[in-house]
Amino acid sequence: MAEVRLERITKQYGQHKVVDEVNLDVADGEFLVLLGPSGCGKTTTLRMIAGLATPTSGRVRIGGTDVTATPVRRRNIGMIFQDYALFPHMTVGENIAFGLTERRQSRKQVEARVRELLELIRLPGYEARYPEQLSGGQQQRVALARALAYSPALLLMDEPLGALDLKLREAMQIELHRLQRELRVTTILVTHDQEEAMSLADRIAIMAEGHVQQVGAPEELYRSPANAFVAQFIGKVNLLPGTLTALSNGVASVRLQDGSVVNAAVNTLVREPLAIDAPARVSVRPERLRLARGGAGGRIAGTVQRRRFLGNIVHYFVRAPWGQVLLVEHGAGGEPFAPGADVTLDWKAEDAQLFGGSDF
């Protein structure tokens, strides 16, 4: 195992910086997920860690050693990609053993390690099968065993579950989490799937436009996002546009577009400058909004546009006076609010957060 440190790494193609001076530390044995939309620079960052791409500037350190110019074969890393890249003409056992035989381990050592890994991935007795005889989930587990065969210091994965259907992907997330916890190998995984990131990661690094926007545990990112992009990318959120009218003791007052004034907490992680009479946005998670029938004295009046029943919860889509449709997550009990019903929305100031008017 090994810690990873990225020191102002940049990757530039022509005038375009795909990754722009990223600093990031990954602890020994940690499971870190690089999360972000397509084109944000997360895969390029992973490739620079792997040695598959050379940084334009900056340093990559693994286990305290500068490996920026070290060839990929000498970095002692395991890699898994979305297509698994299993050799179709080799058996499961031969696929897993490939890295070991390349390192000229004895036949006895190789056979013992293959049996050990097949037990670990819960496929004992599958060594004589070929990849085409396996399901997608089984192929993914074999690819994982092959990557782990020579006990790499670092495991890198790029969208490893992207080709699986939803049920199988969820099952493999559980397996992957179990294996990483059991082996405690330092792991970095790239995905654009926020639910996958939150179910697997010790910490998540959210990227956008070549920059790391925020790094933290899933709960921290959900409850205290550093900017509006993070708030929108982790979970569902309502962003209410308005104008900042007052700041006092960590609480902001914002005048919304219909003239109503609402309160929100000021998060110290937010780096945006906040100024009175400047554009601002109030961020409220759907489950923090309280829904009442019209005339109940809420902060915002609205009209129910749609009701979506999801079993234990119900989603209501409520149109605000300025035309924005807000998502409210409500318990399934009680009398439902029918489409067309006039309602009011309310929340506690500590359950809302203030952001500036920019995207980040």
Cα 251 from Cα 243, distance rounded (Å): 14
Between the alpha carbon of residue 216 and those of residues 59, 205, 221, 232, 355, the distances in Å are 22, 7, 6, 16, 19
**pLDDT tens digits for 250-299?**
899 999 999 999 999 988 777 777 889 999 999 999 999 999 887 545 58
Q: What pLDDT is stored for residue 295 in this prediction? A: 55
Is the separation of the CB atoms in 47 and 77 below 8 Å? no
Q: What pLDDT is stored for residue 121 in this prediction? A: 87
Q: What pLDDT is stored for residue 175 in this prediction? A: 84
pLDDT by 10-residue block (mean), the chain, 360 residues: 93 95 97 96 96 96 95 91 85 91 81 90 92 90 89 91 80 86 93 93 97 96 93 93 92 92 86 86 95 72 94 95 95 88 92 81
Cα 271 from Cα 150, distance rounded (Å): 44
Instruction: Classify residue 10 as exposed, middle or buried by CB count within 10 Å of its CB (0-12, 13-18, 19+).
Output: middle
Q: What pLDDT is stored for residue 93 in this prediction? A: 94
Q: What pLDDT is stored for residue 174 in this prediction? A: 87
Task: Give the number of other CB atoms < 10 A from CB of residue 265.
Answer: 18
CA 177, 180, 186, 190 torsion-angle sign = negative
Task: Report the SS3 class of residue 143.
Answer: helix
Please spell the DSSP secondary structure of 244-307, one letter per residue: EEEEETTEEEEEETTS-EEEEEPPTT--S---TTSEEEEEE-GGG-EEEETTS--SEEEEEEEE
Q: What pLDDT is stored for residue 360 in this prediction? A: 56
Task: Report the SS3 class of residue 227.
Answer: coil
Cα 132 from Cα 84, distance rounded (Å): 12
Q: What pLDDT is stored for residue 286 in this prediction? A: 97
Task: Give the number of other CB atoms < 10 A from CB of residue 323.
Answer: 8
User: What's the pTM?
Assistant: 0.88
78-99 exposure pattern, b = at least 16 Cβ within 10 A, e = fewer: bbbbbebebeeeebbbbbbbbb
Please spell the DSSP secondary structure of 295-311, one letter per residue: TS--SEEEEEEEEEE-S
